[in-house]
Structure 1
Amino acid sequence: MNQGGKSIKVEPGVELFIQDIGHGVPIVFIPGWTFTTEVFHKQVEYFQKTNRVIVIDPRSHGRSSITMHGNDYATHGADLAKVMEALELKDVTLIGWSFGCLTMWEYIRQHGTQNIKSLVFIDLSAKPLSTNHEQDWVEGPLDEIAAAYNYYLRDSEKQREFISAYATGVMVQRTLEEGELSWIVEQSLKTPHYIAANLFASGMFSDYREEARLASEAVPTLTVIAEHWADTAKRFVEHHAPKSAIEVLGGHLMFWEHDEKFNQMLGQFMHAQNPAGA
């Protein structure tokens, strides 16, 4: 889907591919670890009728520049600020999925919330790794995360195996058709395995609990949580982002699998901030 596609230079030799479609209150979608603008195609189709919709391929993702530096979420947060400046975006609703949430929290760490209308965090803990994995909302036990880093991100075929298992086991609840699974995996493999490993480590070692609290207190915030870890995740969000609204839906890729429910949920949240028009 190339509709509205263009590139924005964030530093010499590094350009980010974005889609910029529609008119109205701006919404910015940020995909997760190794994924691309394509995962939000159902949201673009739905919300471009009422909003200006911007979707970003982060550096080293999708159709953006593959670069050997800046593959960390501090840089991704700075990149987001440069995109917003280049597009002259004001009063933005930021929507991040998975590690895309880290980009948003990092943006808040660097720039605060004054240019943000509302925030939507899709299914990621503000501290993805903890020694207390049975109590905290984490991506998994330390040993499992270490195994994923040391084994599955060593080459592109292992990365393919890792994403395929994650897609079928965590991202989607129904049985994926072969073409659907191939599409999901190919999105991820546009990021080389050695860069995926950098981003994986950067994300896992992040701690944005302070920014999560600040965000929930400063602007309207919604956290959407997958069903498989809902009880633990809800307790974590209620403690660390106490003013965030919370919704539970589907698996990790719920906005794609259950797009009608998700889009309605998101539309209602944004409409509550701007009753005259989402």
Structure 2
Amino acid sequence: MKTKEAYIEVEPGIELFVQETGVGNPLVLIPGFTFTTEVFSAQVRHFSKTHRTIVIDPRSHGRSTMTVHGNDYITHGTDLQKVLKELNVENPTLLGWSFGCLTVWEYIRQFGTDKIKSLILIDMPPKSLSLKEVEDWVEGPLDDLAAAYTNYLRHPKGQREFISAYATGVMVQRNLKKEELTWIVEQSLKTPYYIAANLFSSGLFSDYRKEASLSSESVPTLFVVAEHWAETATTYLNKLTPAATVETLGGHLMFWEHSEKFNEIVADFLRGHP
């Protein structure tokens, strides 16, 4: 099946790289922090048989323009709207992974849900940080996340070490082959460390609980969360987004490691909301 590639200008001098495969109802996939269209290759192969499948490199990711401004999720939400408009995408299912969920929620904050068919949100709490004694579902303890920003995202070596440790400890459950780990790290390093630091802080200080709650009431919504925090995440989402469907699978990169099972979960959801 032929894949179309395009560069879409979202502001003067800033282009986003987009791939489009297949025909049918549009399914738009947005990668997470510093990652690229390539992580969704198994989903593109599967869903392009039945859907118009679109994958985006956000600004300063992958093959999109590297820029020192707009590296925050407010801008990413605006960028998404511009891409959808340029491609004449109507009534899409938006699928965000990790910080890509923040792009989806920011789009909803700015533009609402009227033009969205459904939502698929992969392993991202709508608020990353909490100081409650009884923690909600969050990305991690404040001190740990502050240390990651301060100690690792200040130079290329630290970014490599941070992504490598995250890949082996959180993203994937099995032992990675050397070439697999190299590929994952190289995906991230396409975003320079000084931009990665901006994105990291923007993501951690975001709060999209309102958008997550309201959108799940407005359009069919599926959350897929990693097994390592399944109980906490499911309990939290059942309270915040009771109308949403919640599934658990694998680690943070479950759609890559367990692609067949993940694709089956998503396909069932899409069939249930034609």
Normalised by the length of structure 2, the TM-score is 0.98
Distance in 2 of aligned mates of 1:21 and 1:3 = 5
Pairing 1:231-242 to 2, within 5 Å after superposition: 231-242=231-242
Distance in 2 of aligned mates of 1:109 and 1:55 = 21
Amino acid at match of 1:139: E
In the alignment, is the contact (CA less than 8 A) between 1:160 and 1:185 conserved in 2?
yes
- Residue equivalent to 1:139: 139
Distance in 1 of aligned mates of 2:73 and 2:239 = 24
CA-to-partner distance for each residue in 1:164-220, whole Å, 9 max, x for gaps?
000000000000000100000000000000000000000000000000011100000
Post-superposition offset of 1:4: 2.1
Q: 1:133 to 1:54 in 2, by over 3 A?
A: farther
CA-to-partner distance for each residue in 1:208-249, whole Å, 9 max, x for gaps?
000001110000000001000011111111111111100000
- Residue equivalent to 1:54: 54
Amino acid at match of 2:43: Q
Post-superposition offset of 1:6: 1.2
| Mean Cα deviation higher: 134-143 or 179-188 | 134-143
Distance in 1 of aligned mates of 2:133 and 2:240 = 16
Amino acid at match of 2:115: N
Distance in 2 of aligned mates of 1:83 and 1:252 = 26
- Residue equivalent to 2:210: 210
Post-superposition offset of 1:135: 2.0
Distance in 1 of aligned mates of 2:133 and 2:82 = 35
- Residue equivalent to 2:80: 80
Amino acid at match of 1:60: S
Amino acid at match of 1:88: N
Pairing 1:169-188 to 2, within 5 Å after superposition: 169-188=169-188
Amino acid at match of 1:152: Y
In the alignment, is the contact (CA less than 8 A) between 1:133 and 1:140 conserved in 2?
no
- Residue equivalent to 2:23: 23
Q: 1:204 to 1:80 in 2, by over 3 A?
A: same
In the alignment, is the contact (CA less than 8 A) between 1:133 and 1:141 conserved in 2?
no
User: Which SS does the other structure have where 2:117 is aligned?
Assistant: strand
Distance in 1 of aligned mates of 2:68 and 2:39 = 24
- Residue equivalent to 1:195: 195
- Identity, in percent, stands at 63
User: Which SS does the other structure have where 1:198 is aligned?
Assistant: helix
CA-to-partner distance for each residue in 1:10-66, whole Å, 9 max, x for gaps?
000000001011100000000000000000000001111111000000000000000
Amino acid at match of 1:232: T
| 1:164 maps to 2:134 | no
Distance in 1 of aligned mates of 2:6 and 2:132 = 43
Distance in 1 of aligned mates of 2:133 and 2:81 = 33
Distance in 2 of aligned mates of 1:23 and 1:178 = 36
Structure 1: gaps (5+ residues): none
Distance in 1 of aligned mates of 2:169 and 2:193 = 21
Post-superposition offset of 1:134: 4.7
In the alignment, is the contact (CA less than 8 A) between 1:5 and 1:17 conserved in 2?
yes
Distance in 1 of aligned mates of 2:207 and 2:101 = 12
**Structure 1 consecutive aligned stretches of length 4 or more whose deviation exceeds 4 Å:** none
Post-superposition offset of 1:133: 6.9
| 1:246 maps to 2:240 | no
In the alignment, is the contact (CA less than 8 A) between 1:123 and 1:226 conserved in 2?
yes
User: Which SS does the other structure have where 1:116 is aligned?
Assistant: coil
Normalised by the length of structure 1, the TM-score is 0.97
Distance in 2 of aligned mates of 1:261 and 1:198 = 34
Distance in 2 of aligned mates of 1:267 and 1:139 = 27
User: Which SS does the other structure have where 1:17 is aligned?
Assistant: strand
